[in-house]
Structure 1
Amino acid sequence: MGQKTNPIGNRLGIIRGWDSNWYGGNDYGDKLAEDHKIRKYIHARLSKASVSKVIIERTLKLVTVTITTARPGIIIGKGGQEVDKLKEELKKITDKEVQINIFEIKRPELDAYLVGTSIARQIESRISYRRAIKMAIAAAMRMNAEGIKVMISGRLNGAEMARSEMFKEGRIPLSTFRADIDYSLAEAHTTYGRMGIKVWIMKGEVYGKRDLSPLVGMDKKQAGGKGGDSSRGDRKPFNKGGKPDARKRK
């Protein structure tokens, strides 16, 4: 089962939270379409800012948009001018008050979306796909990824017949639900046609109960004091001898 499904959707509610957090009621379809429009607009408007996830939360009169990016300075601008412009533009889409939160991605080499788009841009710049993929794999493994897999499909090197090629290093246990696997799909538009690039990155395993809030995995400095770093789950208390303390277990 894990081999065929999207690894992110397969882990929702287990070790991964949702990117849209609101109750839609009878307007569910309209709000879902609006979320898609917001994300599409942000990725197009901030194409040079290395934007990864866009998390949307809604209340009755407020839409909170959380943008995770590897280059926050481009989004914020001088004195916050650019982020204020973006806020006004999103107000026209939602017809509601908009609050924007920006969090920096400390290790973009471990973000599947950023890795996939980086490979796609290099291929569009006529860099060899093998070189681009091998550099991305080496960078991810240097940042302590447990495994990475990249699959590219299309008319590779302008071949007459389309084919797929896979590159893998480390382990990617797709059927293990506690495995924290990030996944993305990117496209490269070349003179020979379109190429699809799929990226799987294994960051580690999550033990115990994990917080499924939108800011999970971000440290307190990034998340403004919320959530904390819960990437390792709950730990059992230890006594002075280094063994789990049975008296403090719940």
Structure 2
Amino acid sequence: MGQKTHPYGFRLGFNRTWKSRWFSKENYKRYLHEDLAIKRAIEKKGRNAGISSIEIERQGEIVTVYIHTARPGVIIGRKGSEVNKLRDELSNMVEGQVNIEIKEIQNPETDAQLIAESVAQQLERRVSFRRAMKRAVETAMRFGALGVKVACSGRLGGVEMARTEWYKDGRLPLSTLRADIDYGTAEAMTQYGIIGVKAWVYKGEMLPEDLTRKITPEQEPVVVQPKGSPKRKKKR
């Protein structure tokens, strides 16, 4: 019987790239723990900012953190006050200069991670899991997704035996490499225990050369650098 593989790991090197981009033989362990600490700190501070993903890139002593969010204003704060506090906090975790680049998600209704978190929040507010899944799928399809699937696992409805239920609409070619499949997970803390939520979104086909479409001129990121540091040229 075939098993479901992770949509990102299955497509790494083809039309997906790594979320931590660096290589080190001697400092691998330290870099890995720093990356995990950075992600935990950002997720804790931006809990209400609609953060979809966090990418970390290292070039020498420069650590660049890319934050993909649906609400960049929450992270940036008034006149950049919040993002400066975040940069100072991250600078204490790593050795070297920390830069933060904030990228706004143009269509949060079709982002798998945000869909999963939205369903999880509704479950915590005691909304029916079937209603939450159906509403999320219908909204994503209305905003241009070609296929959506949302699954909930756990003691659904407070029953004694845990089970998995899902709702799906449209196409979802998980085994097609060129398919652009977005994937996200979340957890809902209910009075009956933890309910896991998974979301898959099919956005069309994407070949390796189409990776450049991820950042377009109208979606250029907001770059936050330490004071007095030289500005780096943006790669196009």
TM-score, reference length from structure 1: 0.85
Q: Distance in 1 between matches of 2:68 and 2:162?
A: 34
Q: 2:44 — aligned with what?
A: 44
User: Aligned ranges for residues 45-194 of structure 1 at < 5 Å?
Assistant: 45-194=45-194
Q: Distance in 1 between matches of 2:36 and 2:53?
A: 12
| Post-superposition CA distance 1:199-249 (Å, at most 9, x none) | 1100001246333x7xx523222235744xxxxxxxxxxxxxxxxxxxxxx
Q: Distance in 2 between matches of 1:223 and 1:165?
A: 39
| Post-superposition CA distance 1:168-193 (Å, at most 9, x none) | 00011111000000111211010000
Q: Is the 8 A contact 1:103 1:222 kept in 2?
A: yes
Q: Is the 8 A contact 1:2 1:10 kept in 2?
A: no
Q: 1:222 — aligned with what?
A: 219
Distance change >3 Å, CA 83–CA 2, structure 1 → 2: farther
TM-score, reference length from structure 2: 0.90
Deviation, structure 1 residue 45:
1.1
Q: Distance in 1 between matches of 2:138 and 2:27?
A: 46
**Over 2 Å off, 4+ runs:** 207-211, 223-227
Deviation, structure 1 residue 26:
1.5
Q: Is the 8 A contact 1:140 1:148 kept in 2?
A: yes
Query: Structure 2 regions of 5+ residues with no counterpart?
Result: 222-233
Distance change >3 Å, CA 118–CA 41, structure 1 → 2: same
Q: Distance in 2 between matches of 1:156 and 1:37?
A: 32
Larger Rg: 1
Query: Structure 1 regions of 5+ residues with no counterpart?
Result: 228-250
Distance change >3 Å, CA 149–CA 2, structure 1 → 2: farther
Percent identity of equivalent pairs: 49
- Partner-residue secondary structure (3-state), 1:37: helix
Q: CA RMSD in A?
A: 1.7
Q: 2:25 — aligned with what?
A: 25
